[in-house]
Structure 1
Amino acid sequence: MHVGNARYVKREDLPETVPVFPLTGALLLPGGQLPLNIFEPRYLAMFDAALAGDRLIGIVQPSLLEAGEPAEGPRLPLSTVGCIGRITSFAETGDGRYITSISGVCRFRLLNEIGQGHPYRTFKIAPFMADLSAEDDESAVDRVELLRVFRAYLDANKLEADWESVERAGNRTLVNSLSMMSPFGPAEKQALLEAPDLKTRAETLIAITEILLARDFGDSDTILQ
């Protein structure tokens, strides 16, 4: 996989450990992009270190409680699965902040925390190597059903889309882009992140959207016709 100016193919291309950026409600998937506004001193230090090194950080949500709400606290527990991102865009604002864009490389599982004396947290990780090969069967995605539900959601919320771009997008780009831009809560976004393959992620996205439509607009069968 090419991300920015780097190429990630084998395990040796990825670090054994990554600094992690806990971010509630954020979803980064391989190939996706996540804009970030960095202002906390500990995370400014994290980005300084990453820019001086391999430019890789881990995006991970705080662990979710039974009600689906994120945990709280200075050393809060984290969800076990996140996504490695490469800093592919970076700008200083002049008032102490960084405006950055992170491009998804591959998902990872947290193994154990490594104490390195930094103000931010670093973990040993197990990368999802299959994410680098992009061998998901895109044809297994029910594109017709996905677009039907997407259109129903837009219509129900009186929103519009660039349908020419949607039609041009491949199934992987379509599924991952819709997942990342979805207005779902932390628990739903974590489920989309942890989906084992593209087909399952698409099915999860469809199911969550149908539930949202039924909850907010009544009879989902009528809306989705």
Structure 2
Amino acid sequence: MNPDAVYKVSRDDFGGSPAGGDATRHSNMGGAPGSIGLWVFMGVVAALFSLFLAAYAMRMDSADWQRIALPWQVWLSTALLAAGSVAMHIASRSARAGNMAPARLALRLGGLGAAAFVCSQLWAWQALHAIHVVPANNPAGSFFYLLTAMHGLHVIGGLVGWAYAAAYRGSGEGAVLRITLCARYWHFLLAVWAVLLAALGWLTPELVRYICGIE
């Protein structure tokens, strides 16, 4: 066994259990509920956004639909969220390799990227409001605000979990699990954002009718 790959295990990492082997087994068992819980939560969120996108596609065929041009801040937001996801991937990989110092640094950078994403989205809203695109005067604008707001709320929720993981000072499997779950959620947020961006930027009534087989 490579001694460099061995985690530093403390009693705090496993709830203060005095038995190292029992503590390790407890940690391995305790990681499963957290991982499964996150998968279930992401499944529910994916279903929620699928319903929103279905409503968006059906609403596009209305006579009062006026497509809006996405502000350039949206592309900045995309770059920031992608950078945060890359940082989280590095954090997770470093943590699993036992390199906790670079893992924590990458974890912080990932969180900063997500926080900057939220700020950039608020900037995009401000840009749309400046050209009089508000939720009340255009269904396309209403859906833009709704979809990006819902995504932003899930990013903010992720930042709450990120703060919990960043504040955890242990270096055992508990720390690795927290960082790994943060990385998984960040990748999910990026995937959802990519789908939303594709729908908001390129989905048209003609394409919706073609997909649905409507002449």
Higher helix share: 2
Q: TM-score, normalised by structure 1?
A: 0.23
| Bigger Rg, which one | 2
Q: TM-score, normalised by structure 2?
A: 0.24
Higher strand share: 1
